[in-house]
């Protein structure tokens, strides 16, 4: 499928999704969100890791498109917010690891897009924040909830109430970003992480992601019971048999995701 505002490229089992509206600093308008939704829905079982980044050098995603939002009615804003939430939920619920390569401004909707990914790595040039209150609104694509889960309630309130933009080093200090890389090393680093992931059992990774996400908001005993069940279920898989056989035979495993 041809897209106007995004690019989806695949190299083996790793796909890279570029938000590519450089003249608008990759801002998320309705069309871009719709294209993102279509691209995420199109990802096949041959993709085992997805990297999300911004086209151009200045921005990951500078935010939602204010030029479009300024004219929205209340009903239209509800629809726009629902579209954004749907895209972030789809990204978050993909059964494969997702990596945000934050290469520049990740503000508002851009920060929310990164937060919907499993792992976030940032360029030294990155700036992150949720400055929506300066526009008289609040984060509308899940930012109030995902940021709180990432950095804690008080710090999320501070960042949202002040609308402060933080640099990559501060984001790492808060636990929002895992590592800070030179701009030219960001995508290579994300691809190195992807290569490490690809060495492991895809079924086990999908199950681990599901258990982590499902258990995060549960009582510890309930979450541990989910882990126990899933651990046992994997012993019915070909990947488990291959992984343990390969270990005992001192050779790399050949996983099939079954």
- Would you name the residues annotated as active-site residues? 112, 132
For CA atoms 177, 205, 32, 73, give the dihedral sign. negative
Identify the burial level of 70 via C-beta atoms within 10 angstroms of its C-beta, where 0-12 means exposed, 13-18 middle and 19 or more buried. exposed
Output the CA–CA distances (angstroms, integers) from residue 77 to 74, 101, 117, 146, 232, in the order listed.
5, 28, 24, 20, 45
Q: Pull the structure tokens for residue 180.
A: 């800070």
Largest Cα–Cα distance in the chain? 64
Q: Residues 6 or more apart from 156 whose CB is under 8 A from it?
A: 144, 147, 148, 150
Q: How far is 226 from 233, CA to CA, in rounded Å?
A: 11
Tokens 């300024």 sit at which residue? 70
What is the residue-wise DSSP string for 151-177? H-HHHHHHHHHH---EEHHHHHHHTS-
């Amino acid at each position: 499928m041809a897209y106007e505002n995004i690019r989806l490229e695949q190299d083996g089992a790793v796909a890279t999704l570029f938000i590519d509206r450089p003249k608008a600093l990759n801002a998320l308008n309705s069309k871009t969100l719709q294209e993102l939704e279509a691209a995420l829905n199109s990802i096949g079982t041959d993709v085992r890791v997805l990297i999300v980044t911004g086209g151009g050098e200045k921005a990951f995603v500078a935010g939602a498109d204010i030029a479009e939002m300024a004219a929205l009615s209340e009903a239209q804003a509800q629809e726009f917010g629902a579209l954004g939430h749907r895209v972030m939920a789809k990204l978050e619920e993909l059964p494969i690891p997702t990596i945000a390569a934050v290469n520049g401004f990740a503000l508002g909707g851009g920060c929310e897009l990164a937060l919907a990914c499993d792992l976030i790595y940032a360029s030294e040039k990155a700036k992150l924040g949720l400055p929506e209150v300066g526009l008289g609104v609040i984060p509308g694509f899940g930012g109030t909830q995902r940021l709180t889960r990432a950095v804690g309630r008080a710090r999320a309130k501070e960042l949202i109430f002040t609308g402060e933009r933080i640099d990559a080093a501060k984001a790492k200090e808060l636990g929002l970003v895992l590592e800070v890389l030179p701009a030219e090393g960001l995508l290579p680093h994300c691809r190195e992480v992807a290569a490490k992931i690809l060495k492991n059992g895809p079924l086990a990774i999908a199950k681990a992601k599901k258990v982590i996400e499902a258990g995060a908001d549960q009582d510890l005993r309930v979450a541990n019971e989910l882990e126990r069940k899933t651990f046992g279920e994997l012993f019915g898989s070909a990947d488990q048999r291959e992984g343990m056989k390969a270990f005992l035979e001192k050779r790399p495993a050949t996983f099939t995701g079954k």
